[in-house]
Amino acid sequence: MKGSVLSITLMAVMVSSCGSGNEPAKDKGPDLVIGGEGTEESVSSIYQMPTPNELFGLVREMAGAGIKQMLNPTANVDKYASLKSRAFNFGVYSTDLVYASYFKLNVEVARYYLTSKKLADGLGIASAFSDADFVRLEANLTRGDSDSLEIISNDAYAKAYAKLEDEKMGSTLAIVLAGGWVESMHLLLRQIEGSGKAEALMVRVGEQKVTLEHLIEMMKPHEADAEVAAVLKDLIAVRDVYDQVDVKRVAHQGASSSGRMVLGDDLQVDLTAEKYQALAKAVDDLRARMTAPEDKTNA
**Mind listing the pLDDT tens digit for each residue in 131-151?**
777 787 777 777 766 556 677
Residue pair 66/187 in contact (Cβ under 8 Å)? The answer is no
What pTM was computed for the model? Answer: 0.75
Query: What residues does each domain of the chain span?
Result: 5-13+47-291
Task: Report DSSP letters for the chain, one per residue.
Answer: -TT-EEEEEEEEEEE-TT-PPPPPPP--S----SS----GGGTTTTTSS---HHHHHHHHHHH-S--GGGSPPGGGGGG--SHHHHHHHHHHHHHHHHHHHHTT-HHHHHHHHHHHHHHHHHHT-GGGS-HHHHHHHHHHHHHT-HHHHHHHHHHHHHHHHHHHHHTT-HHHHHHHHHHHHHHHHHHHHHHHHHH---HHHHHHHHHHHHHHHHHHHHHGGGTTSHHHHHHHHHHHHHHHHHTTSEEEEEE--SB-TTS-EEEEEEEEEE--HHHHHHHHHHHHHHHHHHHSPP-TTT-
248: confidence class by pLDDT, cuts 50, 70, 90: low
Greater confidence (37 vs 63) lies with 63
Q: What is the rounded distance in angstroms from the CA atom of residue 192 to the CA atom of residue 223?
A: 33
pLDDT band at 31 (very low <50, low <70, confident <90, very high): very low
Give the pLDDT confidence score for residue 208 in this predicted structure: 86
Choose from 6-20, 183-197, 238-252 the range with maximum mean pLDDT. 183-197
Q: So what's the pLDDT on residue 210?
A: 82
Who wins on pLDDT, 182 or 138?
182
Express each pLDDT in 1-15 by its tens digit.
443 333 332 322 222
Burial 219-229 (b: 16+ CB within 10 A, else e): beebbebebbe
Q: What is the pLDDT of residue 92?
A: 94
